[in-house]
Amino acid sequence: MAVFLRTDNHLNGGERLAKFVESVAEGAVEHVKDQVTRVDVYLGDENSAAKSSDNEFRCSMEARIGGLKPFAVTHHAGSIDDAVRGAADKLQQSIHSTIEKIGQKKGRMSYAGDPDAAVDLTAPQ
């Protein structure tokens, strides 16, 4: 699985930021890591240096899981760290919810919440 980070021209995407984002993004998809091909992360400063607000930073994450449409979420926060963590939480919840629905439609229990159980999303039922 690959994690790609892009930032707007108002943010400096240094190595510390890249490692932090990669760690948080990987944690968000840990329960389906074998099915995830990539996670794209985009960080932006909504107000740039001109103004300041409580929700100054935006983090968008998109995860691609084999056999499913991409999952995309966005979170706004007052700090880059909070924006990344918030987006990761939303991404994890979105994936978990979808896997649960797939399991219910196919008449079987989903193991999305169990990190020791692998769910093959591409296997025919």
Lowest mean pLDDT among 4-13, 33-42, 64-73: 4-13
- Residues contacting 124, CB < 8 A, separation 6+: none
Does 78 fall in a domain? yes
Question: What is the domain-level CATH number for residue 63?
Answer: 3.30.160.100
Higher pLDDT, 7 or 11: 7
Average pLDDT, the chain: 84
Does 112 fall in a domain? no
CA gap 90, 85 in Å, rounded: 9
Task: Answer whether residue 124 shows pLDDT above 90.
Answer: no
Residue 117: predicted pLDDT: 55
How many residues are present in the chain? 125
Does 46 fall in a domain? yes
Please give the DSSP secondary-structure letter assigned to residue 102: H
Domain of residue 6 covers: 2-105
Higher pLDDT, 99 or 105: 99
Does 123 fall in a domain? no
Does 75 fall in a domain? yes
Measured between alpha carbons, how far is residue 112 from residues 19, 27, 30, 38 in Å? 26, 14, 10, 18
Residues 28-48 have pLDDT tens digits of 999 888 889 999 999 998 876
Q: How many domains does the chain have?
A: 1
Does 116 fall in a domain? no
Does 121 fall in a domain? no
The tokens describing 8, both together, are 């707007």
User: If you average pLDDT over residues 100-106, what whole number do you get?
Assistant: 74
Q: What are phi and psi of 27, to 5 degrees?
A: -65, -35
Does 80 fall in a domain? yes
Task: Answer whether residue 59 shows pLDDT above 90.
Answer: yes
Strand pairing class (71-77; 57-65): antiparallel
Residue 87: predicted pLDDT: 97
Residue 52: predicted pLDDT: 61
